[in-house]
Amino acid sequence: MYIYKKNAFTLAEVLITLGIIGIVAALTMPALIANFKMKSYEVQFKKQYSILQNAINQAVFENGMAYNCPTGAMAPASDTNECFALRDAVLAKLKIVKKCPRLSACNPFTKGLYKTRDIVLAEGGTTSNSSCTFNFANNSGANFLADGSILYTGEQYNAADYIFAIDINGEKPPNKWGYDLFIPVPVMKNDNNILGDGTCQLYEKGGKKLSQMLSN
């Protein structure tokens, strides 16, 4: 009588295999989740960028020419006035549901929602310009938009170098520079005002520039 012998894995082999799979999953899942989240931020950012750039384009069209707001950081008084004129014209194009002036209790900067430059750098982050004061909390007014985002605008003379700052998902996490919080700057290009990388931008570890968010 012929007896068939069945080949099978032992319990020990199955447990070892499952253990290896578990270890690999534990090592790769955080990176996959982080990459997925960044991709979702990129989608949200592109939407907000489009809304803000369209508002700028409308303001420029109605003005009959580009506003003289090149970068703001080194602009003379006349340029700063132009930056604030551009700010006001853009805000008029957006659906704002609530405004929180600088230093007001409802302003996320005042509430300490975002990390300061010193904390960002201490935790391994970087800055595009170490000479910037990054005095956002004292200068930025918060405009809560109907879509849940927040547009910050400079309210003082020396705030022109970050005339616009965007938190693409409002007060929801992660509230991190270079993830969901950016400082685009209106720049002069081809007789138009185009949003570019901020002259005073902070990047928390792993954060991206505006141009990098748009290119992916």
Average pLDDT, the chain: 83
The pLDDT assigned to 161 comes to 55
Number of C-beta neighbours around residue 44 at 10 A: 18
**In this predicted model, which residue has the larger pLDDT, 189 or 168?**
168
Residue 56 lies in a domain: yes
Percent of the residues in the chain that have a pLDDT greater than 70, as a whole number? 85
Contact by Cβ (8 Å): 140, 153: yes
Residues with Cβ within 8 Å of 150's Cβ and at least 6 positions away in sequence, in order, are: 108, 142, 143, 144, 166, 167, 170, 171
CA–CA dist 147, 115 (Å, integer): 24
Q: Which domain holds residue 162?
A: 30-215
Residue 23 lies in a domain: no
With cut-offs at 50, 70 and 90, classify the pLDDT of residue 104.
very high
Judge whether residue 72 has pLDDT over 50.
no
Residue 60 lies in a domain: yes
The pLDDT assigned to 4 comes to 57
Alpha helices in 140-182 (DSSP H): none
Q: Which helix (H) or strand (E) holds 37?
A: helix 11-63
Residue 4 lies in a domain: no
Residue 8 lies in a domain: no
Q: How many domains is the chain built from? A: 1
Residue 12 lies in a domain: no
**In this predicted model, which residue has the larger pLDDT, 188 or 98?**
98
Cα→Cα distances 174→77, 114, 140, 195, Å: 36, 9, 20, 23
Joined together, the tokens standing for residue 60 give 């420029």
Percent of the residues in the chain that have a pLDDT greater than 90, as a whole number? 46
Q: What is the pTM of this model?
A: 0.81
User: Cis peptide leading into 174, omega within 30 of 0?
Assistant: yes
**Model confidence pLDDT, tens digit, residues 110-122:** 999 999 999 999 9
Residue 190 lies in a domain: yes
The pLDDT assigned to 38 comes to 85
The pLDDT assigned to 193 comes to 82
**In this predicted model, which residue has the larger pLDDT, 120 or 8?**
120
The mean-pLDDT minimum among 24-33, 179-188, 197-206 falls in 24-33
Residue 2 lies in a domain: no
CA–CA dist 204, 140 (Å, integer): 20
Joined together, the tokens standing for residue 105 give 């209790």
Joined together, the tokens standing for residue 46 give 């592109």
The pLDDT assigned to 100 comes to 96
The pLDDT assigned to 112 comes to 92
Cα→Cα distances 20→2, 30, 44, 124, 183, Å: 38, 17, 36, 32, 44
The pLDDT assigned to 74 comes to 46
Judge whether residue 94 has pLDDT over 60.
yes
